[in-house]
């Protein structure tokens, strides 16, 4: 475990940052909050001769909500700021919750939601609620921009569709419909402050007949990437809420999980917990949707 | 690889230091500026002993590259008391409520408490416990620390507020 | 009882201001001119013969000033049990063999940390691997290779305790049960990683600043391993960021720092990384414990047979003491007419287990107290009633082992029952909620001279001055528990001066009086406290004649030392300020300073300890039967620590003990594979955070320990034991799931309830 050596570049604009990425393409990484990157570099899990810091790029830390366009989180938006933002708390409570319970205060003050996604840890806490809210990511390179749905973004542990010369510039989340409910529950088997051993997020809305629509369920820490649960979603879509149906959907969520045994939990336990948490998340979503205008 | 020169303001004092860009803020504070009140308990961002404020926000200085603190204001535990005679109310409360044992976590714990009370001057016990969850203590069981922060909140409250 | 204003007061620690302002110095905060940085090369394999070591590449690296291997050292074995030289099984650096992943093989000193680490990676070591044993069952099986050639069957020592007629006891018992419990290894997880800085001194001497609980033991063992006279080694402890038993031996980096400082003529500092601490640091002994116990149908204890294999890891460390104490605590608390204990300390190819808060008691008491709860359930007797029926009392004797000179156990049980609302909560059960009890007893230091010191177990020197102040010198070692404050309270109470009048010099082996065995086994308040009292009494004997002489007092007068004054009790106007009295005494002695030594060594106190503390704890828990998560809502404790010297410090010890006990019960565990520790960060080695900790309510039972200073006895260690059995019983009460193997994890709860497949 020798100390990693690298040069740190601190561009003031995104263009400069893209230039630097290109110039040092042979061995370069982007630095945002650094909470994962620095550990990976020190631990030898990753190496780079150059780091391009996004922390002095103007305008990147925006958190912006508009009733037409929904939510935009800049790549520099800190997890703690997202957690505390009134619009996020109002329209995306499951995301606000994920951002307020993950890691520690210090790490939330340093880390960014974009970094949490770009690291592509299977346990990324913000990924499951953003999947449930139909989030997408805006990727920029010198040639231009593209928008990728979050469910198409993750490729494996630590792997995404990001090209080497691309920067995750922002996260976009559409405006949720009215009469909707959403929730994120995480569980770590030992302590309150922990990497989630299992996380489940859900979203659903009710139509005028009281049938569920736009149902989304997503899990973290139970597969190589954060995953959606399409089978469970399909079972619920267009149906009237019924406790037995919700329970069956929770069981179906387990089939989306491909968990492993690791330090934090066994695969068996994770599977069982996906069902428990999915059941609770659906209940919570439903009562929120039934309870109010949100 | 060349050293980078950074200017940082720590506890109101301006420093200019040439450093290797891979070094952490915690190392530079301790080794170059000789401000050893910031402790390294894990060097992995898990224990909170290295907590400092950068522009008023608490961070783990062991995971923060010192170059990222260039032209920023850093507050460490040494910068909290107005003078040796006049401690910050959080420090006073820690002393009087028995919130200190071995003391190794204390500096970081107090910086987290400072961040918490700056944002939320009248926290509930649950909020205090959440605010401290990034700072590990092996000696006290935290109860006296929680008590001290509640007490500090009362000391800091303008007359008539809180109780 | 004297000076109630000082004794029992919740006075803030005297070092707290330094600590809250960041001024308090810990070893790693020191930098000396010309200082080198050390790094250690550790074994990557669990058990192997060293075929070859080549350090040439490391030596050739620019910036490297010294590289040492076992071959360069005097190769003197060491260990804390000097009384039994055969038990001293460690070398400062490995010679011929390595016995666990992390065993120290070589050390480097270089101009900077990075170079030292890089040089370590350039040392070539060729290993011939031997079979590795990672459980006591494996290492004690027939034909297992020997981890140490001298220890047959890989059992390094066995300890027996036996009294009463065991066979008759079981024969007469109406109810007999036998259970096997498994307890696991956990980390001390002190927040300050170990750090040691050595500097060469004139005349071939060496000074070592080190984060330790035992400066005197480090001095002696460092001298013997370096081949120096004891007096050539000076050990200084600065602030130490917790120890909990993990810093009570000579450690190899202490040796390497001193050895290389002498070789290079420059200061050398080693500071461990957290990963080193968790991967290869000392830990609490894991054990399988087989316990058989018999009761009469009315619930009276008849006999107990307690059989334990201690997983000692690769070296003895403090295992011999833990082996004995485990047997002792298997039968403390209650009156056992017959008891038999067999404890065997077993070598395995894992990081050595050592002393850790409780020292054998948390393991023994998890088994013993859980079994008590199981018996209560079967016998249909309330668990607290069953305990009251069998509880020890003041004056009880354990034949040839100990006499209980003060005991507030029954009072603790009665009090905790009332405080916790036990009877109601036990009867009116809410689904998922439970309440459970666990109890403890603990020692106030050990009486056995395993270190084979020629000096007293604790010593103090007191100097008083004509300005009304005093200077207390002691080798007693404050590692965070607050002894620097408590000892000054004791001296202040005895001399009748304010604590602020007392300067303290502690834990510097060159200037503080010989000796003090250090901080472990909850010995400091009682032993060092008694030494301080004795020294203070001698000072008073020097001052009393001055008052008598000056005021021409009738000899029936008694002299008081209070409020910074020395005066006749009957005629308070006849007296001086403390300073004036010293001044007059000094004149009378023609300038010879007033200095006195005090000491304490327990004599005729049985085999264990001069005093025992007791207590009972109740845990209120809630179990989520779908996830298996356990939440502890509240802890109630009533305990007997004699007279608390500093109430706030006692509460701090209690709350810290609950933290460690709760971690032991629920979340702390080493995840190991083939001898390798996998969870080497605080992210994965979980200690409870502020959010995990329940509120605590506690009360001290009013007792007076005749052997302790001002009636005080142990307060900081025993309390780590009752928490796990209390929580386990709470979980049983809530769910019906009985955990016999710690920690109680959510998957185990679900499996126990039949809701999760293995």
Give per-residue pLDDT as tens, C575-604.
999 999 999 999 999 999 999 999 999 999
Question: CA-CA distance, C584 to C570, in Å (whole number)?
Answer: 21
Q: Which two tokens stand for residue C717?
A: 């260690």
**DSSP bridge partners of C523:** none
Query: For chain C, percent helix, then strand, then coil, each to nearest 5?
Result: 30, 25, 40
Provide the 8-state DSSP code for C695. Answer: P
CB atoms within 10 A of CB C569: 12
Q: Is there a single domain that holds both residue C638 and residue C748?
A: yes
Residue C373 falls within a domain, yes or no? yes
> Are residue C427 and residue C471 in the same domain, yes or no?
no
Q: Which of B52, B79, B106 is the last residue of a domain?
A: B79
Domain membership of residue B116 (yes or no) is yes
pLDDT at C757 (0 to 100): 84
Residue at C399 is within a domain: yes
Phi–psi pair at C118, nearest 5 degrees:
-65, -40
Say yes or no: A123 and A210 in one domain.
no
In a mutational test of the C interface, the residue from A38, A111, A269, A275 whose CB has the highest number of chain C CBs within 10 Å is A269
Q: Cβ contacts (< 8 Å) between B115 and chain A: which residues?
A: 105, 109
Query: Same domain for C466 and C591?
Result: yes
Each residue's pLDDT tens digit, C376-411:
999 999 999 999 999 999 999 987 788 999 999 999
Domain boundary, last residue among C582, C600, C618:
C600
**C614 and C581 both lie in a single domain:** no
Q: C93: which residues sit within 8 A by CB, 6+ positions away? A: C68, C69, C70, C72, C73, C104, C105, C106, C107, C252, C255, C256
Token output for C321: 């003491």
The whole-angstrom separation of Cα C531 and Cα C535 is 6
The answer on pLDDT for A189 being more than 90 is no
Out of A191-200, C296-305, C444-453, C617-626, pick the least confident: A191-200
Are A145 and A191 contained in the same domain?
no
- Show the domain range for A139: 63-173
Beta-sheet strands, E only, within C314-454: 339-347, 397-398, 402-403, 433-443
Task: Report how far residue C643's alpha carbon sits from residue B127's, in angstroms, rounded to the nearest whole number.
Answer: 36
Smallest CA–CA separation between A5 and chain C, in Å?
11
Same domain, yes or no, for B62 and B126? no
**Are residues B73 and B103 located together in one domain of the fold?**
no
The shortest C-alpha distance from C677 to chain B (Å) reads 16
Do residue B70 and residue B134 come from a single domain? no
A196 and A232 share a domain? yes
Beta-carbon separation of A5 and B131 below 8 A: no
**Statement to judge: residues C117 and C223 lie in one domain:** yes
Q: Provide the pLDDT for residue A265.
A: 87
**Domain shared by A151 and A185, yes or no:** no
Residue A1 lies in a domain: no
List of chains touching B (3+ CB pairs within 8 A): A, C
Q: Mark whether A188 and A250 lie in a shared domain.
A: yes
Arithmetic mean of pLDDT, B74-103: 97
| Pair C618, C437: CB distance under 8 Å | yes
CB-CB under 8 Å, A193 with C627: no
Residues A136 and A226 in one domain: no
pLDDT at C51: 98
Give the pLDDT of residue C429: 86
Same-domain check for residues C69 and C95: yes
Same domain flag for A77 and A124: yes
CA C555 to chain centre: 47
Residue A166 shares a structural domain with residue A250 = no
ipTM over 0.90? The verdict is yes
CATH number for A236: 3.30.390.50
With 70 as the cut, is the pLDDT of residue B160 above it?
no
Last-in-domain residue among A173, A196, A213: A173
Same domain for A91 and A13, yes or no, is no
State how many domains chain A has: 3
Question: Which of C271, C305, C328 is at the close of a domain?
Answer: C271
Is position C185 within any domain?
no
Residue A58 is assigned to a structural domain of this protein: no
- Nearest by CB to residue B44, choosing from C12, C655, C681, is C681
Which H, E and C letters describe C144-201, residue by residue? CCCCCCCCHHHEEEEEEEEECCHHHHHHHCCEEEEEEEEECCCECCCCCCCEEEEEEC
Q: What angle do CA B109, B114, B118 make, to 5 degrees?
A: 150
User: Looking at beta carbons, which residues of chain B come within 8 Å of A55?
Assistant: 68
Q: Is B9 on the interface with A (CB under 8 A)?
A: no
Residues B63 and B130 in one domain: no
Nearest to C693 by CA among C655, C745, C733, C746: C655
Residues C694-709, mean pLDDT to the nearest whole number: 95
For C137-183, write each residue's pLDDT tens digit: 999 999 999 999 999 999 999 999 999 999 999 999 999 999 999 99
User: What is the four-CA torsion angle of C406, C410, C411, C417, rounded to 10 degrees?
Assistant: 150
Chains within contact range of chain A (3+ C-beta pairs < 8 Å) = B, C
Tell me the chain A residues in contact with residue C749 when contact means C-beta distances shorter than 8 Å: none
Domain boundary among C220, C249, C271: C271
C189-205: pLDDT as tens digits: 999 999 999 999 999 99
In a domain, A72, yes or no: yes
- Do C485 and C622 have their domain in common? no
Q: By the CB < 8 Å criterion, does C750 face chain A?
A: yes
B69: domain CATH number is 3.10.20.30
Span C52-64, pLDDT tens digits: 999 999 999 999 9
Chain C residues lying within 8 Å of A190, measured CB to CB: 666-667, 686, 745
Chain C neighbours, 3+ Cβ pairs < 8 A: A, B
pLDDT at C446: 94
Minimum-distance CB partner of B22 among A4, A103, A105: A4
pLDDT > 80? residue C746: yes
In the three-class reduction of DSSP (H, G, I as helix; E, B as strand; rest coil), residue B21 is classed as coil
Is C746 contained in some domain? yes
Per cent of chain C over pLDDT 90 is 97
Q: Is residue B163 part of a domain?
A: no
For C502, the domain range is 16-23+457-600
Same domain (yes/no): C472, C524: yes
Looking at the fold, whether A201 and A283 belong to one and the same domain comes out as yes
Q: A185 touching C, CB under 8 A?
A: no
C473, C463 in Cβ contact below 8 A?
A: yes
Is the model's pLDDT at A292 over the cut of 90? no
Which of B57, B112, B133 shows the shortest C-beta gap to A192? B133
The answer to the question of residue C98 being in a domain is yes
Identify whether B51 is part of a domain.
yes
Query: What average pLDDT does chain A have?
Result: 94
In a mutational test of the C interface, the residue from A100, A189, A200 whose CB has the highest number of chain C CBs within 10 Å is A189
Q: Tokens for C4?
A: 């109630």
Same domain, C496 and C427: no
Residues C535 and C393 in one domain: no
CATH of the domain at C739: 3.30.365.10
Q: Is the pLDDT of residue C187 over 90?
A: yes
Last residue of a domain, one of B35, B51, B79: B79
Average pLDDT over residues C459-473: 98
**A-C interface: how many C-beta pairs under 8 angstroms?**
55
CATH number for the domain harbouring residue A37: 3.30.43.10
Taking the C-alpha atoms of residue C188 and residue C283, their distance in angstroms, rounded to an integer, is 6
C136 falls within a domain: no
Give the model confidence (pLDDT) of A20-57 as tens digits: 999 999 999 999 999 999 999 998 889 999 999 999 99
Distance CA C256, CA A248 (A): 63
Q: For residue range C106-130, list pLDDT tens digits in order.
A: 999 999 999 999 999 999 999 999 9
Cβ of residue B58 closer than 8 Å to a chain A Cβ: yes
| Substitution target from B103, B110, B114 for chain C, most C beta carbons within 10 A | B103
DSSP code for B91: H
C518-524: average pLDDT: 96
* B79, B98, B132 - which closes a domain: B79
Q: Is residue B161 part of a domain?
A: no
- For residue A106, list chain B residues with Cβ-Cβ distance below 8 A: 45, 48, 51, 58-60, 112, 134
Identify the CATH number of the domain in which residue C110 sits: 3.90.1170.50
Q: For the residues A4-24, what does the mean pLDDT come to?
A: 96
Do the domain assignments include residue A112? yes
Query: How many domains is chain B built from?
Result: 2
For chain A, say whether C121 makes contact (Cβ under 8 Å). yes
Counted domains in chain C: 3
Nearest residue to C444 (alpha-carbon basis) of C250, C712, C676: C712
More confident: A280 or A191: A280
**Residue to substitute from B22, B41, B55, interface A, most A β-carbons within 10 A:** B22
* A294 within domain boundaries: no
Q: Is residue C337 part of a domain?
A: no
Query: Distance between CA atoms of C355 and B156, rounded to whole angstroms?
Result: 43
Distance from the first to the final alpha carbon of chain C = 59
Which residues lie closer than 8 Å to C207 by C-beta, 6 or more apart? Answer: C198, C199, C201, C234, C235, C236, C510
C461 and C549 together in one domain: yes
> Using one digit for the tens of pLDDT, what is the confidence trace for C658-682?
999 999 999 999 999 999 999 999 9
Candidate from B2, B45, B116 with C-beta closest to A107: B45
Among C44, C113, C122, C686, which would you mutate to test the A interface (most chain A Cβ atoms within 10 Å of its Cβ)?
A: C686
Between CA A8 and CA C5 the distance in angstroms is 60
Same domain, C655 and C552: no
**Nearest neighbour of A8 by CB, restricted to B4, B130, B135:** B4
Domain span including residue B71:
4-79
C688 touches chain A (CB under 8 A): yes
CATH code at position B137:
1.10.150.120
pLDDT at A193: 64
Residue C325 lies in a domain: no
Show residues of chain B in contact with A51, CB under 8 Å: 21, 65
């Amino acid at each position: 475990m020798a100390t990693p050596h690298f040069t740190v570049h601190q561009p003031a604009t995104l263009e400069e940052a893209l230039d630097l990425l290109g110039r040092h393409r042979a061995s370069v990484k982007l630095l945002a909050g650094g909470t994962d990157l620095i550990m990976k570099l020190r631990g030898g899990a990753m190496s780079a001769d150059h780091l391009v810091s996004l922390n002095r790029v103007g305008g990147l830390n925006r958190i912006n909500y508009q009733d037409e366009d929904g939510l935009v989180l800049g790549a520099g938006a800190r997890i703690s700021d997202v957690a505390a933002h009134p619009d996020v708390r109002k329209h995306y409570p499951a995301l606000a919750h994920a951002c307020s319970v993950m890691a520690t205060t210090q790490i939330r003050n340093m880390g960014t939601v974009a970094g949490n996604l770009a690291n592509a840890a299977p346990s990324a806490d913000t990924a499951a609620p953003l999947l449930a809210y139909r989030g997408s990511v805006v990727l920029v390179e010198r040639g231009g921009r593209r928008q990728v749905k979050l469910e198409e973004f993750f490729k494996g542990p630590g792997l995404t569709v990001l090209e080497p010369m691309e920067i995750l510039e922002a996260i976009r989340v559409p405006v949720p419909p009215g009469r909707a409910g959403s929730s994120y529950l995480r569980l770590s088997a030992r302590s309150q402050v922990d990497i989630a051993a299992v996380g489940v997020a859900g979203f659903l809305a009710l139509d005028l007949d009281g049938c569920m629509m736009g149902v989304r369920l997503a899990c973290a820490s139970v597969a190589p990437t954060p995953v959606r649960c399409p089978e469970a979603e399909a079972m619920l879509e267009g149906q009237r809420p019924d406790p037995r149906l919700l329970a069956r959907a929770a069981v179906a969520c387990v089939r989306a999980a491909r968990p492993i045994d690791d330090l934090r939990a066994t695969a068996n336990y994770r599977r069982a917990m996906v069902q428990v948490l999915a059941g609770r998340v659906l209940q919570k979503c439903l009562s929120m949707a039934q309870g109010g205008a949100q | 690889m060349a050293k980078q020169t950074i200017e940082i303001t720590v506890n109101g004092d301006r420093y200019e230091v040439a450093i290797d860009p891979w070094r952490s803020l915690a190392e530079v504070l301790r080794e170059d500026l000789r401000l050893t009140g910031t402790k390294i308990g894990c060097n992995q961002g898990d224990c909170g002993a290295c907590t400092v404020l950068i522009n008023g926000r608490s961070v783990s200085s062991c995971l923060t590259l010192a170059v990222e603190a260039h032209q920023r204001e850093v507050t460490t535990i040494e910068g909290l008391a107005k003078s040796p005679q006049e401690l910050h109310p959080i420090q006073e409360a820690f002393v009087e409520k028995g919130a200190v044992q071995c003391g190794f976590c204390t500096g970081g714990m107090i910086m987290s408490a400072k961040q918490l009370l700056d944002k939320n001057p009248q926290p509930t016990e649950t909020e205090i416990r959440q605010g401290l969850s990034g700072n590990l203590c092996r000696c006290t069981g935290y109860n006296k620390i929680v008590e001290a922060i509640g007490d500090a909140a009362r000391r800091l409250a303008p007359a008539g507020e809180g109780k | 009882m004297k000076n109630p204003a000082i004794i029992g007061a919740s006075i803030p620690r005297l070092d707290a201001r330094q600590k809250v302002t960041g001024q308090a110095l810990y070893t790693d905060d020191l930098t000396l001119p010309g200082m080198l940085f050390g790094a250690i090369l550790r074994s990557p394999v669990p058990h192997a013969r060293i075929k070859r070591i080549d350090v040439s590449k490391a030596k050739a690296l620019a910036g490297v000033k010294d590289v040492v291997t076992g071959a360069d050292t005097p190769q003197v074995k060491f260990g804390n049990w000097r009384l039994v030289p055969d038990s001293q099984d460690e070398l400062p650096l490995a010679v011929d063999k390595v016995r666990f992943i992390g065993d120290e093989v070589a050390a480097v000193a270089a101009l900077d940390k990075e170079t030292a680490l890089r040089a370590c990676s350039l040392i070539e070591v060729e290993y011939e691997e031997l079979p590795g044993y990672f459980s006591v069952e494996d290492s004690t099986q027939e034909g297992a290779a020997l981890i140490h050639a001298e220890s047959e069957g890989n059992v390094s020592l066995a300890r027996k305790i036996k009294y009463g007629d065991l066979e008759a006891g079981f024969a007469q018992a109406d109810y007999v049960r036998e259970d096997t419990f498994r307890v696991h290894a956990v980390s001390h997880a002190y927040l300050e990683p170990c750090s040691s800085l050595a500097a060469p001194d004139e005349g071939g001497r060496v000074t070592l600043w080190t984060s330790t609980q035992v400066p005197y033991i480090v001095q002696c063992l460092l001298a013997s391993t370096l081949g120096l006279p004891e007096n050539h080694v000076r050990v200084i402890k600065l602030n130490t960021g917790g120890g909990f038993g993990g810093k009570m031996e000579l450690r190899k980096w202490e040796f390497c720092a001193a050895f290389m400082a002498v070789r290079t003529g420059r200061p050398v500092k080693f500071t461990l990384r957290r990963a080193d601490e968790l991967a290869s640091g000392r830990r609490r002994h894991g054990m399988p414990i087989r316990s058989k116990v018999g009761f009469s149908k009315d619930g009276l204890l008849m006999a107990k047979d307690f059989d334990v294999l201690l997983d000692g890891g690769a070296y003895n460390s403090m295992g011999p003491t833990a082996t004995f104490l485990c047997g002792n605590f298997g039968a403390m608390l209650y009156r056992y007419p017959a008891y038999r204990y067999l404890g065997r300390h077993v070598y395995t190819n894992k990081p050595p287990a050592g002393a850790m808060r409780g020292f054998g008691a948390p393991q023994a008491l998890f088994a013993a107290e859980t079994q008590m709860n199981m018996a209560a359930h079967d016998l249909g007797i309330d668990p607290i009633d069953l305990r009251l029926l069998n509880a020890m009392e003041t004056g009880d004797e354990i034949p040839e082992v100990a006499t209980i000179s003060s005991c507030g156990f029954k009072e603790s049980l009665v009090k905790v029952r009332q405080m916790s609302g036990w009877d109601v909560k036990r009867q009116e059960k809410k689904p998922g909620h439970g309440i459970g009890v666990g109890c403890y007893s603990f020692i106030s230091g050990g009486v056995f001279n395993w270190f084979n010191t020629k000096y007293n177990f604790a010593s103090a020197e007191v100097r008083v001055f004509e300005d009304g102040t005093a200077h207390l010198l002691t080798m007693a070692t404050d590692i965070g528990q607050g002894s620097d404050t408590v000892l000054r309270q004791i001296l202040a109470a005895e001399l009748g001066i304010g604590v602020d009048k007392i300067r303290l010099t502690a834990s510097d082996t060159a200037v503080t009086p010989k000796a003090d065995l250090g901080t472990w086994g909850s010995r400091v308040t009682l032993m060092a406290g008694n030494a301080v009292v004795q020294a203070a009494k001698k000072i008073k004997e020097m001052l009393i004649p001055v008052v008598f002489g000056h005021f021409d007092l009738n000899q029936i007068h008694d002299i008081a030392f209070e409020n910074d004054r020395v005066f006749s009790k009957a005629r308070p106007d006849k007296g001086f300020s403390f300073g004036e009295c010293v001044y007059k005494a000094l004149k009378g002695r023609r300038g010879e300073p007033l200095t006195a030594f005090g000491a304490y060594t327990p004599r005729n106190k049985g085999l264990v300890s001069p005093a025992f503390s007791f207590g009972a704890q109740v845990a209120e828990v809630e179990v989520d039967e779908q996830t298996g998560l356990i939440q502890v809502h509240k802890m109630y404790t009533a305990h007997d620590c004699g007279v608390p010297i500093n109430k706030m410090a006692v509460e701090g010890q209690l709350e810290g003990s609950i933290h460690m006990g709760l971690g032991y019960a629920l979340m702390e565990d080493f995840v190991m594979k083939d001898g390798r520790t996998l969870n080497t960060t605080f992210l994965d080695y979980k200690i409870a955070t502020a959010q995990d900790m329940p509120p605590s309510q506690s009360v001290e039972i009013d007792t007076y320990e005749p052997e302790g200073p001002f009636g005080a006895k142990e307060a900081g260690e025993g309390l780590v034991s009752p928490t796990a059995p209390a929580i386990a019983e709470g979980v049983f009460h809530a769910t019906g799931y009985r955990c016999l193997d710690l920690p109680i994890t959510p998957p185990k709860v679900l499996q126990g309830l039949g809701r999760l497949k293995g």
